[in-house]
Structure 1
Amino acid sequence: MTSSSTVRVPPLFRRRRSGTKSPWARGTTAKGPAPRCRPTVYVGPVTSGTSSYDVVVVGGGHNALVAAAYLARAGLSVVVLERLGHTGGAAVSVEPFAGQPARLSRYSYLVSLMPEQLMADLALDVRLASRTTASYTPWTRGDRTGGLLVERPEGDATRASFRELTGGDEEYAAWQEFYAEVGRLAEVVAPTLMQPLPLERDLRALVDQRTWTDVVEEPLGRAIRDRFTDDTVRGVVATDALIGTFASMDDPSLIQNRCFLYHLVGNATGEWRVPVGGMGAVTDALAKAAVGAGAEIVTGAGVSAITPGPDGAEVTWHDGTRQHSVTGRRVLSGVAPWVLRILLGEGEDASTKPAGSQLKINFLLDRLPALRSGADPAVAFAGTLHLAEDYSQLEQAYAAAAAGAVPDPVPGEVYCHSLTDPSILGDRAGSAHTLTYFGLHTPAGLFDADPGAKDVAVQRALASIDAVLAEPLADCLATDGDGRPCIEAKIPQDVERDLAMPGGHIFHGDLEWPWAPNRSRLDTPAQQWGVQTAHDAVLLCGSGARRGGAVSGLGGHNAAQAVLAEL
């Protein structure tokens, strides 16, 4: 979408009240500058009176926009209320470095779970590009240095890379067998994600018992240790269970298993693709689809209360100058369930507040650095480059963080999106590259306990990158217009401050299985689609819905289907 098709809204109004203790209370806006996002088409803002709509959507993240688009296309009147001055939530592109034209995906950065059917339904003008490398993992064994390369699709170089690391073909055969089984599980689960919730027993009957046991019933660590012998290979498998999830691989809660499944099930392939133009291109397209269908989007609208009634619910919001109210036959909540309870008047319960676990660092480089292994940087950085993520290192890092210490080394992963999509570099395409680092086992509690822990974590992340390079990363960093290195780091507290996402938890809370337990009540459309709350007129449409999480749009799609079945 180009700026020539854009209708600008007024700047974000910042409402500040004395006594406000959190960015969720009384609809206040988060502190800090609004990101320099790509422009989006908006309608609004509403300026006076009490209005009535079929559906009021609270929050303007990608799921909210999906819901608004589906509902407006079905002929319902829809308004979206977003407290920031732009839509997109965590799926936005920004130019964070003054004087540099690079547009970086500030928070969310890859797309896997968004169904191709959803994109077709909404006629989204979005292209998702495949990465030629799935992953590259530098390793050192005694005086040997190399890298485990997994191609996309896997070929002879992948087999040779496993053989170089492990000395034979057995580990690669185990890898192929395991992921073939997981792929068959994904083929069963993926088609259900845009349908009413299946019961667990119905899916279990379609999946090999060994696979179901390994992924669903027992801690994933057992299966990884039983199936693989190499510490590095084990770690590469385990990392998909730990993105934004603080857990041991043997955690009896199985939150690591649920995270693993979500990272492998998207479109039945589990492929993580790069949105061309950055994450902001996805939400730009969704906002355009919603507005084009007739939905209204109001920015700078800080919602302070949701009051359910016998025939719907009233939503109270503030534009920075005055208070407004709007009623809806249904209200969809795109905010985290923990925040929704506050808006419903239940208060803040610190004991149930989610806690995120990630360290996100964006870099802009003048050039890609050379690797000690001698691998071509254009190959190694094109996919997911694993750092300090051997299985034993992951478990040691978890133990350190659980004891209150920043892990050393911090396990993490690096992605170079500009190798797949140079358009995000603007006029620096060909003379620069972006890098995105995502650190594991950095829970919010570490940074609450020690204000200096963020600097420590960032330095240890940089050290883990330098450990596999033939030159310091600092030598490759670009500088902004003020001469400062182009580095932007975000911990859970930053995500909470910027997005009012409680605890900085990127999934709005622990992920749930994408099916219904066998004894579930599935009497209402909201229950059948996994979007119910304690109030009939209020439904979940965000990442906190069952089958929410990641940039998928599933929460929005499923809430819309429940509304259409009810109204």
Structure 2
Amino acid sequence: MTAHEAHRSYDAVVVGAGHNGLVAAAYLARAGRSVLVLERLDRTGGAAVSSRPFAGVDARLSRYSYLVSLLPKKIVRDLGLDFRVRARTISSYTPVERSGRATGLLVGGGEKRTREAFARLTGSDREYEAWQRFYGMTGRVAERVFPTLTEPLPTREELRRRIDDEEAWRTLFEDPIGVAVEDRFADDLVRGVVLTDALIGTFADAHDPSLAQNRCFLYHVIGGGTGAWDVPVGGMGALTDALATAAREAGAVIATGHEAVRIDTDGRAAEVTYRSADGEAVVAARHVLVNASPQALAELTGDAPTAPAEGAQLKVNMLLKRLPRLRDDSVDPREAFSGTFHIAEGYEQLATAHAQAAAGRLPTAPPSEIYCHSLTDPTILGADLVEQGYQTLTLFGLHTPARLFERDNDSVREELLKSTLAQLDAHLAEPLADCLAVDADGRPCIEAKTPLDLERDLRLPGGNIFHRALAWPHAQEDTGRWGVETAHDNVLLCGAGAVRGGGVSGVPGHNAAMATLEATGE
């Protein structure tokens, strides 16, 4: 940013060039507003980035966030983004040992095949039919709720009327999700597969009275109006690169290496103080949109801090020379790993892991799930790696809250990674270690991130991938018209901590831009 630009007054200053900040900047610039984006890092993208984490290896991984469901097509169309997603042919595979033999549940590949998989596992069609009824219900809710995410917040009663299904409302919005899981399904493995969507990045029991697990479940099943989770072609960085291009082409100025340190406002005009290699400077703005956590917002404005909600996940990136063989030889590893591969996620296993972590201990059988981006989209790998059969694996561990790592992050990370991979190895016909690629220095291509690592790297409070507990997608006390409003009339929250935030969606960025345009007469 030039000295002249540094002293300009802008219609809007966006703090943070993560995907939501870039969405907001692109919308405002396309509406003719002058926009400055301040980003403390030397790159754009925030947690939605692609990078090459392994020295000398041409594998560009979605390093933090990796699947897309909540990004509305409306945003892609409105901003003219050169961005695509690709559907996975298999939804999930969950290995298990039953009656002394290795088997599993493969969901996907067509209705007939899925029905047969349920019957082999459970001995009847009952669980499959219950599955169809349950996800038929969530699908109808998704069709009605997802379009509201880019509209002004409905009231609770308006959303209830829009859903127009009292059983669905009670199941998702009033009773703990554990009630529905136990009432509808009998098989422990099937129950666990259903429950996992309520626990991604959320440390809660199936019957938690706070219903944090219900809110998490809701956002995981409404994406795109279908609940499908797709693979971003070219990796997650393809999205944020397209957003940065759209914002710049519309006229927004994006200044990386510029960290906002203070916001002063009287509700009508604001000044943002930032720090860069050239020292400290101030820029004026009519509106400030903060693409950071509510905790960071409070620090910038000098308001009373909000209590953070800790994260509870282990994130592991791997590159393999080949996919491992499975003990369940009835399924091709290329199919098993192309969807969500569930590990130690039976219903009772999840309950035990939560109870152990709540008592301050690492789970003895850490639950996790694995995704293989490169099976669906090999473009993230160099041509030579594709030819040799290399594949990526991303593992997302559950029920590992930040508090467990506070005594010694490095040693606890190592202990947890070892026990997590042991749970996977129990279902493999060969050790995962034998399949790991090595980097240019001869080190295994594997990296693990705890909640404390994510807090350090990305400033996620407590390592929480949603910035704070997810909120219901309807108006509540003090949520404002769009769910992005703050105590200051011209300062808006456009990060994951906004109402209807969380995940790679762009929704808070869109909504903050709409609120800004409304406030200025458009």
Give TM-score, length-normalised by structure 1: 0.89
In 1: Cα distance, 2:127 partner to 2:205 partner: 23
Corresponding position: 1:498 with 2:457: yes
Q: Structure 2: where are the runs of 5+ without partners? A: none
Aligned in 2, Cα 1:450/1:402: closer, same or farther, shift over 3 Å? farther
2:508 corresponding residue in structure 1: 555
Of 468, 492, 495, which residue of structure 2 is paired with 1:542? 495
Corresponding position: 1:343 with 2:296: no
Of 395, 405, 411, which residue of structure 2 is paired with 1:447? 405
1:448-507 Cα deviation digits (max 9, x unpaired): 134321111100111111011000000000000000000011111111111112111100
In 1: Cα distance, 2:73 partner to 2:2 partner: 32
Aligned in 2, Cα 1:321/1:69: closer, same or farther, shift over 3 Å? same
Corresponding position: 1:373 with 2:328: yes
What number of residue pairs does the alignment pair up? 515
RMSD, matched Cα: 1.3
- Mapping for residues 171-250 of structure 1, pairs under 5 Å: 171-205=127-161, 206-250=163-207
Corresponding position: 1:387 with 2:343: yes
Q: Structure 1: where are the runs of 5+ without partners? A: 1-43
In 2: Cα distance, 1:148 partner to 1:181 partner: 22
AA partner of residue 160 (structure 2): R
In 1: Cα distance, 2:352 partner to 2:439 partner: 37
2:24 corresponding residue in structure 1: 67
- Mapping for residues 41-52 of structure 1, pairs under 5 Å: 44=1, 50-52=7-9
For residue 357 of structure 1, give the secondary structure of its aligned residue in structure 2: coil
1:264 corresponding residue in structure 2: 221
| C-alpha contact (below 8 Å) 1:93/1:106 kept by paired residues | yes
For residue 165 of structure 1, give the secondary structure of its aligned residue in structure 2: helix
Aligned in 2, Cα 1:315/1:168: closer, same or farther, shift over 3 Å? same
1:264-298 Cα deviation digits (max 9, x unpaired): 10111111111011100000000000001000000
1:430 is displaced (CA, Å) by 3.1
AA partner of residue 99 (structure 1): G
| C-alpha contact (below 8 Å) 1:45/1:298 kept by paired residues | no
In 1: Cα distance, 2:78 partner to 2:43 partner: 24
| C-alpha contact (below 8 Å) 1:48/1:324 kept by paired residues | no
1:54 is displaced (CA, Å) by 0.3
| C-alpha contact (below 8 Å) 2:308/2:467 kept by paired residues | no
In 2: Cα distance, 1:69 partner to 1:310 partner: 23
Corresponding position: 1:111 with 2:64: no
Aligned in 2, Cα 1:49/1:225: closer, same or farther, shift over 3 Å? closer
In 2: Cα distance, 1:482 partner to 1:514 partner: 48
1:354 corresponding residue in structure 2: 309
1:166-190 Cα deviation digits (max 9, x unpaired): 1000010000000000111111101
In 2: Cα distance, 1:348 partner to 1:189 partner: 31
| C-alpha contact (below 8 Å) 2:267/2:488 kept by paired residues | no
In 2: Cα distance, 1:45 partner to 1:242 partner: 46
For residue 253 of structure 1, give the secondary structure of its aligned residue in structure 2: coil
1:330-383 Cα deviation digits (max 9, x unpaired): 10010000111011123656xx12311110000000000000001101100000
1:528 is displaced (CA, Å) by 1.0
Q: Which moved more, 1:112-121 or 1:339-348?
A: 339-348
In 2: Cα distance, 1:319 partner to 1:202 partner: 46
- Mapping for residues 275-290 of structure 1, pairs under 5 Å: 275-290=232-247
1:9 corresponding residue in structure 2: none
In 1: Cα distance, 2:339 partner to 2:5 partner: 50
1:234 is displaced (CA, Å) by 0.2
Q: Which moved more, 1:441-450 or 1:385-394?
A: 441-450
| C-alpha contact (below 8 Å) 1:46/1:298 kept by paired residues | no
Of 102, 116, 119, which residue of structure 2 is paired with 1:160? 116
1:45 is displaced (CA, Å) by 5.4
